[in-house]
Amino acid sequence: MAIVEEGEYKGNPMLVLKNTPEDRFPFQFGVKKAKLVLEHIEDIKRFVEKHGAEKPERAGPR
């Protein structure tokens, strides 16, 4: 289960998504991109359905 946190970058609010608490490269974005995602959520869902077959996670560092 992902970890969801709020952060800040240069005074702007950010949403930070981590796979683990130690995640070195979290997925993070601000309000403008969050709005874009919400506007296209159905397209994103279709994309995941089309290409999202679960692949085994890599072991060890990337």
- Number of Cα atoms under 13 Å in the Cβ half of residue 32: 1
Cα(3)–Cα(19) distance, integer angstroms:
6
More confident residue, 62 or 24: 24
What mean pLDDT do residues 35-55 have? 93
DSSP state of 50: H
Beta bridge partners of 42: none
pTM for the full predicted model: 0.73
- Give the pLDDT band (50/70/90) at residue 40: very high
